[in-house]
Amino acid sequence: MEFVKYEVDGNIAMMTIDRPKALNALNKQVLTEINEVLDQVDPNTVRCMIVTGAGEKSFVAGADIGEMSVLDREGGVAWGKYGNDIFRKLETLPVPTIAAINGFALGGGCEIAMSCDIRICSDNAVFGQPEVGLGITPGFGGTQRLARIVGMGRAKEIIYTASNIKADEAYRIGLVNAVYPQAELLDAAKKLAGKIARNAPIAVRLSKKAINDGLQVDMDQAIVIEENAFGDCFATEDQKEGMSAFLEKRKEKNFQNK
């Protein structure tokens, strides 16, 4: 692949969008390569994946405006669906994901970050959905995920005004979980990924699915989703290991992903 790198170190994977001449902007080839990487993520071996951008200036600066500028209505719908299908695949990936946002995260960059489970950023990060200033709406989930993360009123303000927000404001409104100096961001992401990876991976994956699925239904249906996830854990060897370690007062746990 030309623009997307995928590496696995132990049980932690990293996907890096690497198109520096365009500030890692998303064109069709980049999206296609992201899709191919997502197909490679194996939950039998990978317990957490970090998503980041190459360089120190940009996470993902947005979608490729030159490529979009010639679209008609049908082409716009198709382009939105292409990106949305891939970002939805990322969002529903069984493996937990951390966006390590190392600079500009505008438009499609903000949208791919919001498709990850957890977002942390460098102190030079800038977020925004600038689409209405280009005569379009957000097209890769921005109108839906931003409101779910930061609340409807704040999301409408950000989208309607096409305003950029800096790292400290993104943290204040809950768009990111933490802000780090640029030089410390990837180490922080790896440390967080390591904390996740040390826990029972099936239980983590089931927790992710229960949270995601439960938010789409009412509370009565949501607690049934949780009950089934909870019950499924008791069919695993990892549940026996985790509880045995607790009862035996063992700090070390040997989760086998089984």
Answer yes or no: 56 catalytic. no
Helix axes 28-40, 73-91, angle to 10 degrees: 30
Looking up tokens 């500028």, which residue turns up? 69
Tokens of 178: 């933490």
DSSP state of 26: B
Catalytic residue among 33, 36, 56, 131: 131
Residue 9 and residue 187 in contact, taking contact as beta carbons nearer than 8 Å: no
Give how far the C-alpha of residue 184 lies from the chain's centroid of Cα atoms, to the nearest Å.
Answer: 19
Longest dimension (CA), the chain: 65
Dihedral sign from CA coordinates of 46, 47, 53, 54: negative
- Check if the beta carbon of residue 60 is closer than 8 Å to that of residue 109: yes
d(CA 143, CA 136): 12
> Which tokens go with 226?
């949780």
Residue 155 token pair: 């999301």
- Across-strand partners of 40? none
The residue from 7, 33, 91, 111 that is catalytic is: 111
169 labelled catalytic: no
Token digits for 173? Answer: 């409104």
* 153 Cβ neighbours under 8 A, 6+ residues apart: none
Give the active site residues: 111, 131
